[in-house]
Structure 1
Amino acid sequence: MEDGLYSDVLQFRRRGRCCRPGVQMALLGLVTAMLWAGLLTLLLLWHWDTVQGLKRLEDIAALNVSQVSKDLERHRGDQMAQKSQAAQMLQNVEEIQVEQKRMKTQGLELSQNLDGLQEGLSNLKSQGLNERRTALNALERLWEEVAKLWIELRVSNGSMCNTCPEKWVNFQRKCYYFGEGAKRWIQARYACSELQGRLVSIHNQEEQDFLAKYINKKGSWIGLRDLNTEGEFVWMDENPLDYSNWRPGEPNNGDQGEDCVMMLGSGQWNDAFCNSYLDGWVCDRLATC
């Protein structure tokens, strides 16, 4: 029995050795085929996935292109709208500039007209003031003439017309006040007005000699000036310069602007600056009966 078993094993080994190369080749072919099949399957899967990815990319690209096209169209539309708005704004700016130029021209014309009106009004006001001043001066002279006539009438009837206020000095039916205290010419004028008189007007030698006795030795303002026209001296009573007592060489309008007249301590006259301060000033007014 052992011999038979040994024979079977030997026979099997012989068979195995005889069939082994074919089986190996078959197995190798099968494995190779399976590998190629797997690789092909992988390639097919990769190709299909690639195709799907490309399709998705195409769809996305198409969508993006569409969106970009829409955005571009919208941007172009916005640009056109902005250009239109810019053109409109430019037109508006040009219209505003034209309107500004027109308003500026109109403003200049109005300013010129206003200046003309103001100048005319100033001239009218000046003219009115001059006419009023002339009328007041004429009325004042008329009242003074009436007062003089009244005094003459009273004197002819035997009245004594030599009454003056306190601290005033009488001479030839007039009263004189010899003021003291540093004043400019205009201040002296107002001081006489407050005393119901005016800066003295001198018309004859007798009056001049009387005043020279009482005049302040440092000089006093009198009512003579050429403020309106240089060289044309006028008294405060508006009468012409029918008498004078100028110091030699005067009036000389020294340094330009000596428009008011003072009486020196010697009694002689000198033109001086109206803003100068003098210690004396002389007022006059009519005496009462």
Structure 2
Amino acid sequence: MEESSYSEVLKFHRRHQPCCRRGIQVALLGLLTAALWTGLLTLLLLWHWDTERNLKQLGETAAWNISQVSKDLERHTGDQMAQKSQASQMLQNMEKIGAEQKKMKTQDSELSQNLYGLLEDLSNLKSQGLNERHTVLNSLERLQEEVAKLWIELRMSNGSMCNMCPEKWVNFQRKCYYFGEGAKRWIQARLACSKLQGRLVSIHSQEEQDFLVKHINRKESWIGLRDLNIEGNFVWMDENPVNYSNWRPGEPNNGGEGEDCVMMLSSGQWNDAFCNSLLNGWVCERLATC
């Protein structure tokens, strides 16, 4: 009896066991599904919250950036306005400077004209003074020479011999002559004669011309005749008139323009030449002493 009951229980257990297993599996599957959904929803909520936080941060950052850009734009606009104001002020200053420069140029031009006028007046006065001084000195020199000639005449009338000349000078008709050698221009020859207390020779007779030709040793030599002031108006160094001449045929011709000084050729004839020409001879004269 007991054995038969036990066997029935075993049969019942075996018959209902697969059904219980399937229920457990279904319950576990449901739990797993619920857990998955729960995890998924949790992930979705977390993503949503993170996204909202990021969007909020982005919005705040964008708002801050917009605020900074607005401030920079306002500052840049202010700087531009300031720069425009400064540029306008600089332009006004430049216009004022330009006006001042123009005014100064006008004043400078007027001052320059006045200065040139004063310099011209000064130059004219200086030239006038020099001319007057030169005229006075020439008059004084001629007067001294006339006095010396009168003194010589007086001494000769008393029986004195007035034919004394310095060393290396040659006497002829109460005058002494020095025949210089060495390349010189006309003005250099004139200065050389002045240092020797004489002057470039002035020729007033054929006898004097013949005497000079004998002593120049066939060298081209400077003499004291020139037309430096007025072309064609020749003047002797002793300021006496040109009452004798011995020009070479065709001379003076002012060839090439500027031949304002006179030379004696080796033949003895005269020729107008450039004053800067170098000649190896030059003749000085001075009065003889008693």
Query: Does TM, scored on the shorter chain, surpass 0.5?
Result: yes
Residue 166 of structure 1 deviates from its aligned partner by: 2.2
Match of 1:69 in 2: 70
Superposition map of 1:104-115 within 5 A: 104-115=105-116
Report the alpha carbon displacement of residue 146 of structure 1 after superposing the two structures with TM: 1.8
- State the alpha-carbon separation in 1 of the partners of residues 278 and 22 from structure 2: 156
Paired position in structure 1 for 2:160: 159
Match of 1:88 in 2: 89
Q: Is the 8 A contact 1:234 1:240 kept in 2?
A: yes
In structure 1, distance between residues paired with 2:199 and 2:145: 12
Alignment pair present for 1:236 and 2:237: yes
Q: SS of 1:178's equivalent?
A: strand
Q: Helix, strand or coil for the counterpart of 1:243?
A: coil
Q: Secondary structure at the match of 2:202?
A: coil
1:134-187 CA distances to partner (integer Å, 9 max, x unpaired)? 222121112112212222232333333222222322233222223334433223
C-alpha distance 31-162 of structure 1, shift in aligned 2 (>3 A)? closer
TM-score, normalised relative to structure 1: 0.82
CA separation of 1:60/1:145 partners in 2, compared to 1, >3 Å: closer, same or farther?
same
- How does 1:262-277 map onto structure 2 within 5 Å? 262-277=263-278
Shift in Å, 1:76: 2.1
SS of 2:229's equivalent?
coil
Q: Could you say if the C-alpha distance between residues 74 and 232 of structure 1 is closer, same or farther in structure 2, counting changes exceeding 3 Å?
A: same
Partner of 2:44, secondary structure, is: helix
Query: Offset of 1:61 from its aligned partner?
Result: 2.3
The TM-score with structure 2 as length reference comes to 0.82
Structure 1 vs Structure 2 CA RMSD: 3.0
Deviation at 1:70, TM superposition (A): 2.0
Match of 2:181, SS state, is: strand
Q: Deviations over 1:175-205 (max 9, x none)?
A: 2223334433223222222221111112234
- 1:259 counterpart residue number: 260
Letter in structure 2 aligned against 1:184: R
Gaps of 5+ in 1: none
Cα 1:186–1:36 shift into 2, 3 Å: closer
| Aligned equivalent of 2:189 | 188
Structure 2 unmatched runs, 5+? none
Residues 172-187 of structure 1: matches in 2 within 5 Å? 172-187=173-188
